Amino acid sequence: MKAAVLVFPGSNCDHDMYYALEKGIGADVEFVRHTEKSVAEYDAIFIPGGFSYGDYLRSGAIARFAPVMESVVEEAEKGKPVLGVCNGFQVLLEAGLLPGAMKRNKDLKFICRQVELRVEENSSLFTQDYQAGETIKVPVAHGDGNYYCDDETLASLKENGQIVFTYEDDVNGSRAGIAGIRNQAGNVLGMMPHPERAVEELLGSKDGLALFESMYKHWRESRVVTT
């Protein structure tokens, strides 16, 4: 699998993502700068965490207009897997690839610790190696991770099985405890917790590895079907 890890001014989890992909599943990984115009050559696209453009205006608001994002949107609409983590999730929301918005954490403090997540659904290409209802441990590190959406959007997310991960406890005030959602097509996932920081026991948990393994299996199986 050829994977693109996007890099914006202010990205600081790009190397973590690179390591998880290369060491975790043996992907052929490349950093792709925000100034690039195309990601069409890659099998999957990863938008890492950090503070793109210093989080000015809103987290992810400026990164959404970076040259590379036009191609990201195009490839996502074609069905290519796209994963946005933390700031990457915020960028996906700003780009309109996922519904809702992010607010400051309920206590207005930066949170950096390991949390427990509940896997709400395992039918997507990102979660097929998990069990529905399974509890996993993954770290968070964010100040603007309080997910919000209106009643209509929340009802739609629930009806379509788009809520992928929820917090077991109230970590940041997110509506319905949402920690990660996918688009209706199922190929775009945004999540605030960092699965790339949970791929080895040395890091305190390897529960995030199954997410990358799920993506790899989906890519491998899709290649068998198409060839």
Q: Check residue 51 and give left, alpha or beta (phi > 0: left; psi -120 to 50: alpha).
A: beta
- The residue from 94, 120, 196, 218 that is catalytic is 196
The pairing of strands 101-103 and 28-33 is unpaired
The amino acid occupying position 130 is: Y
Place of tokens 């453009």: 53
Using only C-alpha atoms, the chain has a radius of gyration, in whole angstroms, of 16
**Quick check: is 196 catalytic?**
yes
Give yes or no for a contact between 39 and 72, defined as CB atoms under 8 angstroms apart: yes
- The residue from 86, 94, 120, 218 that is catalytic is 86
Place of tokens 């992907």: 27
The pairing of strands 101-103 and 111-119 is unpaired
**Quick check: is 86 catalytic?**
yes
How many whole angstroms separate alpha carbon 83 and alpha carbon 212? 10
Give yes or no for a contact between 145 and 102, defined as CB atoms under 8 angstroms apart: yes
Give yes or no for a contact between 73 and 65, defined as CB atoms under 8 angstroms apart: no
**Catalytic residue annotation:** 86, 194, 196
